[in-house]
Structure 1
């Protein structure tokens, strides 16, 4: 049935000077409709234009229209809008994305009109909001007047994305493509972040992510996962690759199972064609998608968001650079909160460790003057950089600082430690900053599957002080006697600190850990001490009793031998009690040879090393 379209806008009858007008944002701005208003704006002034992130030609924010329009944005983006905010011609209103619709509903930001970009009506008269349902649906439901651009290039999307033609007061017909945003190129640092984040994602998890290099890198490294789901305020081209790889099935979702749930899409023309009439992808208003209690209905919810800087207590700045507002709150807090409440959920902040060509650390002892906290230190579970994963949930200020220093750029670690020492956030005896083991490569974390259990091998570091202390007190007297050749009674925090504060460029200390959420348990430690006078090193191990016999010591030994060879060390020595036959066997299986004579009660072993390139 052919539908009768509303009349062309008679703007003088629809709005007046000083009114508040909502404009659909993201990739679906109704440019032709905005231009139509500009062309018929004689006699108008001070119209407040309210919107989210608006891509493309945000012409209403130009200085030439400063008397006609006043911009009020919930998210700063685009050259013209950013310039207008910087020059004081535009306002930025911080608000959680889930709560913006409430501002329209309760009259805090009462809307006189809504300008929307919709598809042509179907045979029943329904137009789709296409790629931008987000706060648009809420705005048109609350606005006194709805004016639409009927655009055949707007995709028809499933979910709660439809408005009947009878609800539109006026319209124009104009065909315009949605703004296409191509996936940005990735460099090595960004790819490393993606690899680390992917390690935190288990099969069957549900994901939220944003746009940019880091989310794209993360999704790239999830192609071998299975039964992933999507519940995200936005989707990008990366979901197409994951679906084609068989990684996304949505079968394990516990909220809207079988469906990708989102509120807007930003990407290439390929993405807009992919979502067109796709019943597997459902669009809902942000008030629904971003509602923390709805997010939490997804078990194993993984929220991946970014930051401009993080201080050493875990406070996250995401919308400002000092006093300069840069973007917006968006949905970060909604999804961090929702993932925190989810069974098995993980809120993750992922970012590069530096800015301005590595001249500035994004991990800071305190926030920049003027910077505002978007996500509080109590909400953050993980911070991921190209140098690793910092686990913050349940950690003290001391432990948080050491975790975050560990994932800072190596150039800034000593300085960061010195700054926090001034405030006694770490004790006086914490003198060494974390160091990496270059021979392990760019990714310092190696996943191990041992008897169907997942563990990780990585360098021991100062943030492990309490974990090593717990590890020590888990040992039986027999284990301590075999490892230390006597029965030590105490492992003080200071002594533990000394053992985990390793200069990994000369000595080497590795551990195998089990991570369950933010809880990290050490199950085995292996290390060697380097003696430059003989260009040799002495190696030793200890394994938690419950894990003995599973090959952890052998794995650590193999890795330490490789490190020693790459460092062109000549010999590796080991001293084992004569009655510790299992440990002696491990060394002999690695081609260590016994030396004679040894000390009474001890076995001395040696491995001659050939250098590795």
Structure 2
């Protein structure tokens, strides 16, 4: 390769390395070599029709401005920044969809051969090695596959560990020019992003390895991981939240099964504090995207949790992430890489997290069909979880009917009925599925509540239509004796239609709660409690617990919740009809203040608790505490 002598503090002789029609790579993210761009614009005016290729680039991106359209043709793998987005929208720039893990092969196999790579590096060390600093990603691959490397040596560039080094002798030319590293401040959270983050944090177990992007939701997630233990990081990017968790010891990479003891990434974007954190930090290693984003490498991490966002998700689970209708908005990025990698990881969890609505609540982002012109980035078969501020939709192993009901449940309540009506037209749900999911208002923002019973973790939540098959399995797990005590006879079957009726509850009137055991995508109902609303502000209460969990306190917890809800709704009386031989159930009711009243049937006990009184506030408080007045 023809070399041009490296030079410091000197202008680049562009005509020696560039010709009209060449393809030029521009450094990524927070490592855009702006001094080189300025020099090319000013000193390389006779060089025309250059194709400039890059991923996300932070800054003004002046090469994409209209006044340079005859000199530069932009081709981006990821649309970022106003100038680039406007150029793509106006047809002056191209968008090339490609996962980050695969971009390097486009360079190496000459699908997109590179003539020159413009990069920014740290000053050389005593051995002459410069670090790519905050952005290794596809920069290393571009540099290795370009005819010429032109470097901007920036004294302010952090020196990062890992596979981030190039020797100064590899540069065809270089200039030394100080440039502040662009900062991205932590985005202020919102009520919605915090709720989403709380649900996401529930899916992250101690010892898991995580991948996070940038934005309100990822920033919020890190704030809800502070009580976790022994987390690891394998992520295409890291931000301030990751650095803070490392400093607190929450992230120590101790239980990682790939690069144990190290946080590995391909680039970082954040505050100056973050850049100072990664500088000469041996605990954070930067590698090319071809390595970090390689699904096979991601899958080597046990309990890998990938957390990515989307523009919309349809009711079959298809994820749109790079376009809004016909308008391209961003790029594929690393979403497909990490979804695939996490799905192949032992215990892995690919998560798509997004707000339920857009445009101030006027548009649902959970949709029956993806918007016309929009493209699917992640297929319906690859996503395990979709999280909104209304909960967690578990899709792995679910039929189209089940996943549609799961996703309707986490859609905004204003759109749930309409979504159910839309998919009924296409027979995604049977005729007997008439009700859409509803929330329990008294549960507040979090409809999923982790609880500890007998030193074991379970979740308390409302029953919903997607539980149809799970409730059927729960029914068939019971012994004949349990069925007789619960129903006063022994029912022989539980059809899907009957199960659907039992889980499709208007929770603003009747109540149907369940305690479930959740292991990844596997959900098992352990107990169900419900009350049926009667006239004159009364309700009948019943519950049933899986035999293996009887006596552990699940029935008490369900009854405690129902007393609180009934009291909060101003009901006057709760009553239950219990077989006289069912001593355990009678004990539970009496523990919560239910009194026996006369019943003409000697084989059945009627128990009553009066709720409504001038001291209703005390009733609610005592119900919350599980105490009896």
TM-score, normalised to structure 2, is 0.96
Do the aligned partners of 1:5 and 1:165 also contact (CA within 8 Å) in 2? no
What is aligned with 1:579? 581
C-alpha deviation, 1:219, in angstroms: 1.1
What is aligned with 1:606? 608
1:44-93: CA deviation from partner (whole Å, max 9, x where unpaired): 11100000101111000000000110000000010000000000000000
Do the aligned partners of 1:183 and 1:267 also contact (CA within 8 Å) in 2? yes
Which moves more between the two structures, 565-574 or 408-417? 565-574
Do the aligned partners of 2:23 and 2:113 also contact (CA within 8 Å) in 1? yes
2:58 pairs with 1:47: no
Quick one: distance in 2 between partners of 1:310 and 1:186?
A: 23
2:556 pairs with 1:517: no
TM-score, normalised to structure 1, is 0.98
What is aligned with 1:593? 595
Q: How do 1:194-205 residues align onto structure 2 when only pairs under 5 Å count?
A: 194-205=197-208
C-alpha deviation, 1:8, in angstroms: 4.2
Quick one: distance in 2 between partners of 1:400 and 1:409?
A: 16
Quick one: distance in 2 between partners of 1:452 and 1:392?
A: 28
C-alpha deviation, 1:43, in angstroms: 1.4
What is aligned with 1:362? 365
C-alpha deviation, 1:453, in angstroms: 2.2
In structure 2, the gaps of 5 or more residues are 621-629
Do the aligned partners of 1:31 and 1:57 also contact (CA within 8 Å) in 2? no
C-alpha deviation, 1:354, in angstroms: 0.4
Superposition CA RMSD, Å: 1.1
What is aligned with 1:249? 252
1:548-581: CA deviation from partner (whole Å, max 9, x where unpaired): 1111010111011111111011111111100000
Quick one: distance in 2 between partners of 1:5 and 1:583?
A: 86
Quick one: distance in 1 between partners of 2:327 and 2:265?
A: 30
What is aligned with 1:114? 117
> SS in structure 1 opposite 2:588?
helix
Do the aligned partners of 1:458 and 1:511 also contact (CA within 8 Å) in 2? yes
Q: Matched residue pairs, number?
A: 610
2:530 pairs with 1:535: no
Which moves more between the two structures, 213-222 or 411-420? 213-222
1:399-429: CA deviation from partner (whole Å, max 9, x where unpaired): 0100000000000000000001000100001
1:506-558: CA deviation from partner (whole Å, max 9, x where unpaired): 11110001111111110100011111x22111110000111111110101110
2:144 pairs with 1:148: no
Do the aligned partners of 1:598 and 1:604 also contact (CA within 8 Å) in 2? no
Quick one: distance in 2 between partners of 1:226 and 1:282?
A: 21
What is aligned with 2:626? none
What is aligned with 1:556? 558
Do the aligned partners of 1:233 and 1:290 also contact (CA within 8 Å) in 2? yes
Quick one: distance in 2 between partners of 1:549 and 1:581?
A: 12
What is aligned with 1:508? 511
C-alpha deviation, 1:266, in angstroms: 0.6
Q: How do 1:321-360 residues align onto structure 2 when only pairs under 5 Å count?
A: 321-360=324-363
Quick one: distance in 2 between partners of 1:59 and 1:312?
A: 40
What is aligned with 2:623? none
Q: 2:71 aligns with which of 58, 68, 71?
A: 68
What is aligned with 1:268? 271
2:315 pairs with 1:312: yes
2:182 pairs with 1:182: no
1:222-264: CA deviation from partner (whole Å, max 9, x where unpaired): 1000000000000001012212332111000000000000000
Quick one: distance in 2 between partners of 1:518 and 1:77?
A: 34
In structure 1, the gaps of 5 or more residues are none
What is aligned with 1:391? 394
Q: 1:93 aligns with which of 96, 106, 118?
A: 96
Do the aligned partners of 1:229 and 1:249 also contact (CA within 8 Å) in 2? yes
> SS in structure 2 opposite 1:458?
strand
Quick one: distance in 1 between partners of 2:244 and 2:271?
A: 13
What is aligned with 2:625? none
> SS in structure 2 opposite 1:337?
helix
C-alpha deviation, 1:598, in angstroms: 4.6
Quick one: distance in 1 between partners of 2:393 and 2:17?
A: 54
2:168 pairs with 1:165: yes
Quick one: distance in 2 between partners of 1:527 and 1:504?
A: 10
> SS in structure 2 opposite 1:494?
helix
Quick one: distance in 2 between partners of 1:374 and 1:23?
A: 25
Do the aligned partners of 1:223 and 1:246 also contact (CA within 8 Å) in 2? no
2:132 pairs with 1:129: yes
2:93 pairs with 1:81: no
